[in-house]
Structure 1
Amino acid sequence: MIDSNRIRLAGMTLTEVMVSLLLSSLLTLALVSLFVSARRSSLQDEQLATLQEVGRYALSFLSRELEMVGFMGGFDQVEVIDNAALVSADQSTLTQDSCLALLLDGQAGVTHFNNVNEFGQETDHLGQSTGRSLPSDCNLGYRRLVKGSDVVVIRRVKDHSIQERGFSTDNLVPWAVYLSFSDLSGPAVMHRGSDLNAVTALQSRSPQRELETWEFAPQLIYLREQSDVLCTDQGAPPPELCRIRLKQSGYGLSPPQCLVDGVERINITFGIDNDRNGMVDQWADVPPTALAAPIRSAAVDLLVRSAVLEPHYSDPKIYLLGRDVYDPIQDGVACTEHHRRTSFHTAVETRNLWSLRP
């Protein structure tokens, strides 16, 4: 005969089964929640790391270019640089309001457009038009500019003369633009590599007839939108940091070269030395054109935005970039507040002889 007590001990009651299932479900739910939380944290860390990488690269690039703004190979008498030889074979004069003329203006180290709108028209920190704008023929890749960001044209020569790189004037690239001078007091001429007449004329005016030649490398730096549709269910594609340079395979400007995605705002202010005592007297959104007030330093503020939309995340912060205030919620693009952002700031001292001239 089977003992009924042994039967009860060999199994589980219904209550015990229900408790066991409940504990198993709770444990499974806890593990799933832990996995989801870890996954979300990993994605957030990845986005923050990407923001840091993008911001540091863009800040390093802009800082380096602003440090070298107006560097003409040690030649500091920029007002005597002659660029009349920069004439195309099929063009008798350079149109002064063209984008090419803007980049070839060797007498101005920098041209800055503050808080442009999507069409390249400049506004002040209050949003009012200043009457200045980018030339209409600047090929920006048929994309809209980022509204509220700055555009800057930086003019300088490359870091080393062609003589230091082991070249001679016989090895000049025909369509490249060069700055040649005999000594630091002038004369100086900007010419294309194929223009031997300009080089010969300069040599005839130079007592020693030994020229120093540097390749001229200006660039227009700006932010543009990647798409005309700024906000979708997947989020707003981040803007691109791009530049336009001189074409070396022909006359004119090269197509836009985009360096990195994710830079949402650029703000640049310039430290001006009004009394030429070597100290910054004021900070200005737009640098003066007169040589009597040189630029001693430049401050750069960047705002970097993630590419991934996070519907459950909202950025409530208001960012101060120079004198400009940016509120993502009031940006007019509904989804942009659901992106992560990080701001970057640095100040650099210009290291060209033009700015250090007493």
Structure 2
Amino acid sequence: MRRVPGFTLTELLIAMLLGMILMTLTLTAFSSLSRSARQTQQLAELQQNAQLAMSILQNELTNTGFWGGRSAPQLAASLTLPEAPAGDCVEAALDSGSFPQPAQSFVTLYARTIGAGRQLNCLAGAISQTELLQIKRLLGQKTAIADMRQNRFYLESGWQHSRFVDSNSPGLTAEYDYFPYQHLVFYLQQQRLDGKPIPVLMRKRLSRNQAGQAVISTDSVLDGVERMHFEFGIDADADGQLDYQLTTEQMSAQLWQQNNARIISLRYHLLLRARQSDPNYINQQRYDMGAHRFVAPGDHYRRLLVSSTIFFQNAVL
């Protein structure tokens, strides 16, 4: 009897089995590579965001305490001031807002824990139990009158003279120095990314609109900042040396006003979270942020804690 060439049923079954084994190995390897790639991508994202966040705070906190050669800008309150912006960021009974006012405190560095309701009269929807940071400072670089920007305010500074001005103010003269002025508030707020909530570092800042009016603008700075806490270094005897550190909750109104003691440093703790979750990762870690603790709720987000201290070089001037 003539034999027909081909495969037997047994050979086909063996071939199918080997094919399934190879496919399983391939899928397993692909899944492992995919998990590894996702982990690498998220860790790189967290590292990049950490560098960006530290750079932002370093840039924004530099020159804190510098007021164009004066110890404080209160002298400017005796002259004509720009009109305060609508919805100015101000802590009632402690601070005068964007510009100093006669017989009122002008707090240039301030933080508080977010509670219920509006914060600083200008924040709504900030993440509870995190902290906000308010900064008022000069950028430290003199600006020629011809180079003044329309959207900024400046401090005009001279011997026993200072006033807040803009590019359209009358009486600008080369006799005085002009420094760009900033009033900033950093805080955290939940937004949505691809339909999912994500914590975002936000910024309020003083600027001028096209009509020349002072306004408080809002912009998103960095996605994925989940927690933010601060500690302040106090020089209690005006010798330029750090005597002790206090958390935001431990700071008093007298310390914020810096009448008998100076704030010469700030230590910040930022907890960053990946933008996307990883279903193959479970986070139950504890993150220590000074006096604060955060325990991950067993979710699928990778996190990275960054901390650093900034000393204010001009704080003792």
Shorter-chain TM-score: what band? 0.7 to 0.9
The equivalent residue for 2:46 is: 51
1:271–1:298 CA contact under 8 A, matched in 2: yes
Please, which runs of 5 or more residues in structure 2 have no aligned partner? Answer: none
Distance 1:88 1:99, change over 3 A: farther
Q: Output aligned runs, 1:152-171, within 5 Å.
A: 152-163=133-144, 167-168=145-146
The equivalent residue for 2:22 is: 27
Q: How many angstroms does 1:313 deviate by? A: 2.3
Q: For 2:176 and 2:273, how far apart are their aligned partners in 1? A: 47
Rg: which structure is higher?
1
Give the length in aligned residue pairs. Answer: 303
1:83–1:191 CA contact under 8 A, matched in 2: no
Tell me: higher relative CO, structure 1 or 2? Use CA pairs within 8 A at least 6 residues apart. Answer: 1
TM-score by length of 2: 0.82
The equivalent residue for 1:144 is: 125
**1:300-349 deviation digits (Å, cap 9, x = unpaired):** 111111121233422111111121111232xxxxxx82211111111111
Distance 1:278 1:158, change over 3 A: closer
Q: Does the alignment pair 1:307 with 2:275?
A: yes
Q: How many angstroms does 1:235 deviate by? A: 7.7
Q: Does the alignment pair 1:217 with 2:182?
A: yes
Q: Indicate the SS of the match to 1:319.
A: strand
Q: For 1:194 and 1:301, how far apart are their aligned partners in 2? A: 40
Q: How many angstroms does 1:155 deviate by? A: 0.9
1:173–1:194 CA contact under 8 A, matched in 2: no
Identical residues among aligned pairs (%): 25
Q: Indicate the SS of the match to 1:39.
A: helix
Q: Does the alignment pair 1:82 with 2:80?
A: no
Q: Does the alignment pair 1:238 with 2:219?
A: no
**Out of 97, 105, 114, which is 1:116 matched to?**
114
The equivalent residue for 2:265 is: 297
| Equivalent AA in structure 2 for residue 111 of structure 1 | Y
The equivalent residue for 1:337 is: 299
Larger relative strand fraction: 2
**1:25-49 deviation digits (Å, cap 9, x = unpaired):** 1011101111121122112211111
TM-score by length of 1: 0.74
1:157–1:214 CA contact under 8 A, matched in 2: yes
Please, which runs of 5 or more residues in structure 1 have no aligned partner? Answer: 121-133, 204-208, 330-335
Q: Does the alignment pair 1:104 with 2:99?
A: yes
| Equivalent AA in structure 2 for residue 314 of structure 1 | I
Query: What CA RMSD, in Å, does the superposition of the two structures yield over aligned residues?
Result: 3.3
1:236–1:309 CA contact under 8 A, matched in 2: no
Q: Indicate the SS of the match to 1:54.
A: helix
Distance 1:175 1:86, change over 3 A: farther
